[in-house]
Structure 1
Amino acid sequence: MLAFADLADFVIDNVGRQVICCNARAGVSLKTIRHLLIDQVLPLVVNLRGREALHATAVATRKGVCAFTGPAGSGKSTLAASFVLSGYPLVCDDCLALSDGAPIRTLPGYPGLRLWNDSVRALGASSRKLKAVAHYTTKSRLTDSRRGDFCSTSRRLARIYLLQRTRAGKRAARVLIEELAPMEALMGLIKAAYRFDTTDTAMLKRQFHFLAGVAEQVRVKRLVVPDDFSALADVRQAVLRDLSGRPAR
């Protein structure tokens, strides 16, 4: 069972085929239940069903899918939204499901990005495309009905960026993309992986081998970005140059 204090509980069977919401607290809206299900529960169910997913947000480019992962608040969704508003289809927000094999491929999530109010203002997103996420957060879900804004098919995963903001007081720093040693890349993926039961040794072994394969097939890099919304365009250009194999400026 997955319990969300003062909100609701979810009971999941042993193989992840049935999910039941129960014990919803008084005043908890259907919108909040939906958010808990699709953004918190289902990523863990993916793992329970024998597949792997990363806590990452991703967009599709002509060179393949690029994914952004990093700690909460590092700007994954904001950066992805800046790509989407510039014409690059969204693949997922926060849960990147991956298929096994060669090449590694991404599976689509749903058309929506969760953003804080300051990100919405900085991006200039239309209020008509915003919906409340849940009653306990001020985040909004950025959605768009245009077909081209969402990638609904499986695509090759081209790059994974471990997102890192520059320290306070260094906002003038430029965008930096760094190669990672194989072990550092693997550890970054392990930190980003979803796990339903951290005591399940068979699952942990399966996941380790899968992520090792991802690190071998997909280039994983560190993406250091200024802690400044005005730098989003520069970050996009740096990522696109990197995907194209062009040297950084």
Structure 2
Amino acid sequence: MTFMQVTSPPRPERRTDSDERRGNMPVLPSCFGYQVYGLHIASQLELPELLPSSLRADRDVDILTHALPVSLKQAIQRGSWIQLSETRCQMTIPRIARYRMDGGRRIVVDRRVDTSLGCDPGDVRLYLLGTAFGTLLHQRQWLPLHVSALATPSGAWAFTGASGAGKSTLAAWLHHDRGWPLISDDVAVVKPEETRPWLYPGPPRLKLWKDALAMLGIGTQGLVRDLSRADKYHLIQHRGFQAVPLPLTGLVVLERAEPGEHAVLEKLHGVAAFQAVMASLYRPELARAFQVPQSLMRHVADLAQRVQIYRFRRPLSLHDMTPVLSPLIAHIAGAAPDDV
């Protein structure tokens, strides 16, 4: 499918909240159509990281490009880079761009921030598809989860944990070794209003350290280097990803074992399961900014009861992955999607 390229950003059309509630989003000229997180998007920015889709009148989100004021009206300043109001969020990334997320329906990108210094378009998209979209998902009262996830024979299994816990490496190895399609490597989303917890994929990209790429036989030539970590790379639209959502069967919290420890898979219940889900939320401070605390806790508790929650401690090594992961693989392969 071919999309018209943006030549100059048109002035945004005036619309009302009632129009948007009825799905009457005005037509935006010179836009690209995409899909991600179960959302249909019209964007004035070209986003090669996302899967293309036809432009729809009943789309869910507009991404616009025009100037933004430095300050957001009736907002509270949080730190040096983010402002929050009841339904809006504005963040300013020095030397990159200014972003405004509005009511879960619109993202405005102002690229005229320190323009004399120059900025790579990929950097603008990185923050757009990261924190900006994560904020928009919280504004929609959904649960964006900071996970790597796979489509297994027993449904979707997601892996979470502290930074450096090996989420991406584990998912990439299971995809490579078991042939399980990837669903997400950063953020995937659950919609609490659905009777069954479906996991909706995020952007089809995979972030791996250089040594993990070498283990999988993937060269670094042509890959996008991570902004903050020189030895980490992004595989854009990685071939192993699937675009459709799947029922979420399990969430596994990854922990690093001490030297000499054996791998242990432990099922979590009650408060421990609730805390595991809460800790997996993407930028939970933004969840608290846009969701009523009681509603957020209810949604998290409900998800913790409807999926299997585990803690998996294992040696963090790229060697001997098969014996280390055997308890996890055996359980996932033998689990039933509704066995909670």
Q: Which residue of 2 aligns with 1:53?
A: 144
1:103-143 alpha-carbon deviations (Å, 9 max, x no partner): 21111222211112222223322446x62145543221124
Alignment of 1:31-42 (within 5 A): 31-42=122-133
C-alpha distance 245-98 of structure 1, shift in aligned 2 (>3 A): same
Unaligned runs of 5+ in 1: none
**Distance (whole Å) between structure 1 residues aligned to residue 304 and residue 288 of structure 2:** 24
1:180-228 alpha-carbon deviations (Å, 9 max, x no partner): 1310110111122134636537433222111111110101000112021
Larger radius of gyration: 2
Q: Which residue of 2 aligns with 1:224?
A: 313
C-alpha distance 165-61 of structure 1, shift in aligned 2 (>3 A): same
Partner amino acid for 2:278?
A: I
Of the candidates 294, 297, 314, which is equivalent to residue 208 of structure 1? 297
Determine helix, strand or coil for the equivalent of 2:126. Answer: helix
Determine helix, strand or coil for the equivalent of 2:186. Answer: coil
Query: Is the CA contact 1:12–1:20 (under 8 Å) kept in the aligned structure 2?
Result: no
Determine helix, strand or coil for the equivalent of 1:197. Answer: helix
Are 1:152 and 2:240 matched, yes or no? no
Determine helix, strand or coil for the equivalent of 1:200. Answer: helix
Larger RCO, structures 1/2 (Cα 8 Å, 6+ apart): 1
Partner amino acid for 2:100?
A: V
C-alpha distance 105-199 of structure 1, shift in aligned 2 (>3 A): closer
Are 1:179 and 2:272 matched, yes or no? no
**Distance (whole Å) between structure 2 residues aligned to residue 35 and residue 105 of structure 1:** 25
1:36-95 alpha-carbon deviations (Å, 9 max, x no partner): 111232122111122111111101101111100011111111111112222111101110
Return 183-192 or 9-18, whichever deviates more.
9-18
TM-score between the two structures when normalised by the length of structure 1: 0.86
Q: Which residue of 1 aligns with 2:217?
A: 124
Query: Is the CA contact 2:96–2:111 (under 8 Å) kept in the aligned structure 1?
Result: no
C-alpha distance 201-29 of structure 1, shift in aligned 2 (>3 A): closer
**Distance (whole Å) between structure 1 residues aligned to residue 280 and residue 94 of structure 2:** 24
Alignment of 1:12-91 (within 5 A): 12-25=101-114, 26-86=117-177, 87-91=179-183
1:148-202 alpha-carbon deviations (Å, 9 max, x no partner): x1121111111100110113xx1x4222111113101101111221346365374
**Distance (whole Å) between structure 2 residues aligned to residue 97 and residue 199 of structure 1:** 16
What is the identity percentage for the equivalent residue pairs of Structure 1 and Structure 2?
Answer: 24
Determine helix, strand or coil for the equivalent of 2:106. Answer: coil
**Distance (whole Å) between structure 1 residues aligned to residue 106 and residue 329 of structure 2:** 39
**Distance (whole Å) between structure 2 residues aligned to residue 183 and residue 205 of structure 1:** 16
C-alpha RMSD of matched pairs (Å): 2.3
**Distance (whole Å) between structure 2 residues aligned to residue 23 and residue 204 of structure 1:** 36
C-alpha distance 231-182 of structure 1, shift in aligned 2 (>3 A): farther
Q: Which residue of 1 aligns with 2:99?
A: 10
Q: Which residue of 2 aligns with 1:188?
A: 276
Return 84-93 or 4-13, whichever deviates more.
4-13
TM-score between the two structures when normalised by the length of structure 2: 0.64
Query: Is the CA contact 2:95–2:118 (under 8 Å) kept in the aligned structure 1?
Result: no
Alignment coverage as a number of residue pairs: 240
Return 132-141 or 63-72, whichever deviates more.
132-141
